[in-house]
Each structure stands twice: as C-alpha cells, then as structure tokens.
Amino acid sequence: MKILKDSAIYLFGEMFAKALPFLLLPYLTRKLGAAGFGELSYYQTFAALLVILFGLSQDGAVARYYYVYGKRNLHNVVYAGYVYTFTVAAIALAVAGAAGSLIMAAVVASAAVQCILNVQLTLRQCRKQAMAYTVLQIASGLLCSLLTVLLLEWTDGEPVFKRFAALLLGNAAVSAIAAWWFFRQQNNPIRWSWHRIKHSLMYVAAFGLPLFLHHGAGFVKGQLDRMVLYPLYPAEQLGVYAAGFQVAMVLGILLMAVNKATVPYYYQAMKSRRLNAEKVRRLAWFSLPVMAIPALLALLIPEAWFLWLLGEQYGGVKWYICLFLIGCGLSAPYYLLVNYLFYRAWNSRISALSLLSAAIYLGVLAVSAPLGPQWTPFAMIAGAAVILPLLYRQVKD
C-alpha cells in the first residue's frame, strides 16, 4: 500500500508541475503570437541542449550511487556535480556575454539552475520523501508560472527573455531552499577537499559521459527539428509547428512523469525478481496499441477546438498534434525497455542504440525538412520507432 501511496504522490507532483506550462500555453501563444512563440521554441531547444551538457546525468549518477553504495558519501557526489555545473555554466555565460546576447545568457543560467533542481528532486526520490519531492515540484511550477505572467504583464519588450528569466528566478529560489535543507540535514560537517571532489567527479563523469551520447541522441530526436526549420521557414510557421508539439507533449509529459515516479519501484521489482526480462517485453508489447489511442482521439476532434485553445493564428495545428502524439506514444514501450538496460548498467549499449536511432532521425529530417514543416514530424516517429526492436532484443536475463 505504501508503494501505491508514494507512487500516487510522486505522480501528482510530477503532473501538477508539468501541467502548469501546458495551462500557460494558451496565454503564451496569444501573448507572443505565432512568430514570438516560434522564437521561444527555438531558444528552448538551446535550453534543452544545455541541460544535457550542464547536467551530465548527475541525477542518474546520484540515484545509482544511493541504491548501489548507500548515502554515506552521497553528499560529496552532489557537491562535485554542482562544481562541474557551475564551472561549465560560467564558461557558457562568458561566451553569451561576449556575444552580447541577453536572451542566451538567460537560457544558460536557467538551464544550470534546472540541473541543480533535478539533483535535489532525485535526492528526495531516493530517500522515498514523496511529500518533499511533490512540494518542490509544485513550488517550482507555481513560482515559474506566476513570474512569467507578472513579467509579461508588468514590463514591455523582450517577451522571450522574460520567460527564461522567470524560469531562472523561480527554479533558483526553490533550488536554493532545497539545497540548504539537504546540506542542513547532513550529520557530518561539510569538509571540502580536492581529493574528494576529484574522486566524486570521476564517478559522475564515468557514469555520465557514456550517457551523454544517449541524451544527446534524445535531444537530436526531440529538439533539433526546430533548429533546422527556424532559418528555413517564417517564424509564424514554426510557431504553429511548435504549438502542435507542445499540445502533443501533454502525453509525453504524462509518460515521463509516470516513468520518473515508478523507476525506484521498477528497480526494486527487478532486484527482488518480481520483474524479469520476459515480463518487461510483454508489457512493452501491450503498451503499443494502448499508446495509439490518443492520436486517434485527436484525429476525431475538430480543429476549431484546437484553435479555440491556441488562437486563430494556429491554423493547421491539428496535423502536427496527431503526428507528434504518435511519436510521444512510442515513449511508453521505450521507457519500459530502456529502464531494464539502465538497471543492468548497460550504458554503452544504450548509447550505441540511441546513436543509431538518431542517425535514422537525421536521415528522415534531412529529407523531410526541405519539403515543408508538415512532413518533419515523421522524423520523430521514425527515430522513436526504430530503436524499439533494437532495445527489445537486448532485454534478456
């Protein structure tokens, strides 16, 4: 019963926090217009890339360290990860400052703070502190949303910069409180030494570097299309494309939230042998037809409903929503299969398969992008579909 209760709390926190950006979507699409929303989505791709670079899978490294080695030296792993994040982010900020890009500076800073928050959330999840985890999620979502509206309504100009400034300020406040509380709970006094930092950095790098390719491939399949389309087509078209993606990502966020909330119990079930390769493969098969339902439902909804939600400037958005829902739905069997490989620490295999999937995605993107934005979502579908049989073959006892 406790597992079900904690899972429900985790899921509620994830869904509430992730639902807030979606609830902001009608406001942002109207406030920014199609062109402004297209520009926002363009810079969001940079933010996603920087989170991968700054994070280096620290949250995963912290979780694995906790489950494999315990919490005795866990704080040093956290410190080392933060030293890495702040160092790399400082370099990126210097580059943005030299380029004179205020928006990019805000993107860099918000990405760094997001990495800090991700680690703090992971610490709560590892310790089964479901309520603390949920409070942090909700506080972050509410504060970022509130600051976004306040900055856009009370000040003029630079709406894209203000969105990233709101993310920076909101997540920084929550991360600072969470980090202070974590360090305060440490029984041993904080002792900084280069030996400990170096040793912990080596652990983080050993875990994260192989996965950098994996997450990089995920970025390519989930974000690169907007970077390619932005210089090829008017910002208004990219805005419609991005709005369709954001609506479809409701499903992607739901699946991501369920996955994040259940991973600890997935690992526990693997450890106790209540879950094995055969059951994982069977669950992956079962999830495929279930995940086709959202796209079919979207196909039946009149486009006028979507225009009522987003605004009249977003004609043609239904096409993108349906296709992106197919691509997002393929995440369900992917999570089921790839978590098995993560548990086995087969990170190199994951990276190799992800690179192959990304190569397929890039091939389809190269062909579809010149034909028009309406064909580009097929690259996402192809990249997501091709990795499933490859992962399926790797899942074995």
The set of long-range contacts for 23-28, using a CB threshold of 8 Å and a minimum separation of 24, is 23/145, 24/145, 24/148, 24/149, 25/243, 25/246, 25/247, 25/309, 25/310, 26/309, 26/310, 26/311, 27/149, 28/148, 28/163
Asked if 42 and 230 count as a contact pair (C-beta separation under 8 A), the reply is yes
The predicted structure's pLDDT at residue 382: 93
Asked if residue 276 and residue 196 are part of one domain, the reply reads no
Q: Which domain holds residue 161?
A: 1-230
Asked if 76 and 196 count as a contact pair (C-beta separation under 8 A), the reply is yes
Other beta carbons within 10 angstroms of residue 192's beta carbon come to 9
Asked if residue 247 and residue 169 are part of one domain, the reply reads no
* Residue given tokens 């700054």 in the structure block: 54
Q: Where on the phi/psi map is residue 190: left (φ > 0), alpha (ψ -120 to 50), or beta? A: beta
Asked if 354 and 218 count as a contact pair (C-beta separation under 8 A), the reply is yes
The predicted structure's pLDDT at residue 388: 93
Asked if residue 21 and residue 102 are part of one domain, the reply reads yes
The predicted structure's pLDDT at residue 5: 63
Which distant-in-sequence residues (6+ apart) come within 8 Å of 33 by Cβ?
236, 239, 313
Among 206, 230, 254, identify where a domain stops. 230
Asked if residue 173 and residue 67 are part of one domain, the reply reads yes
* Tally of structural domains, the chain: 2
The predicted structure's pLDDT at residue 2: 56
Among 230, 263, 295, identify where a domain stops. 230
Asked if residue 256 and residue 186 are part of one domain, the reply reads no
Which distant-in-sequence residues (6+ apart) come within 8 Å of 235 by Cβ?
34, 35, 36, 38, 39
Asked if residue 386 and residue 287 are part of one domain, the reply reads yes
CA distances to 285, 330, 331, 334 from 337, in Å: 10, 11, 10, 5
The predicted structure's pLDDT at residue 186: 65
The predicted structure's pLDDT at residue 190: 59
Asked if residue 218 and residue 80 are part of one domain, the reply reads yes
- Hey, what are 44's tokens? 């969001």
The predicted structure's pLDDT at residue 198: 84
Rounded Cα–Cα distance for residues 18 and 20 (Å): 6
Asked if residue 126 and residue 245 are part of one domain, the reply reads no
Rounded Cα–Cα distance for residues 153 and 151 (Å): 6
The predicted structure's pLDDT at residue 7: 65
Report pTM: 0.79
Asked if residue 159 and residue 242 are part of one domain, the reply reads no
Taking the chain, what is the end-to-end CA distance rounded to the nearest angstrom? Answer: 29
The predicted structure's pLDDT at residue 94: 96
The predicted structure's pLDDT at residue 215: 79
The predicted structure's pLDDT at residue 86: 95
Among 199, 230, 261, identify where a domain stops. 230
Residues lower than pLDDT 50 in the chain: none
Asked if residue 255 and residue 331 are part of one domain, the reply reads yes
Asked if residue 240 and residue 160 are part of one domain, the reply reads no
* Residue given tokens 């389809």 in the structure block: 364
Asked if residue 161 and residue 291 are part of one domain, the reply reads no
Q: In this structure, which amino acid lies at residue 162? A: K
CA distances to 136, 327, 397 from 121, in Å: 7, 27, 31
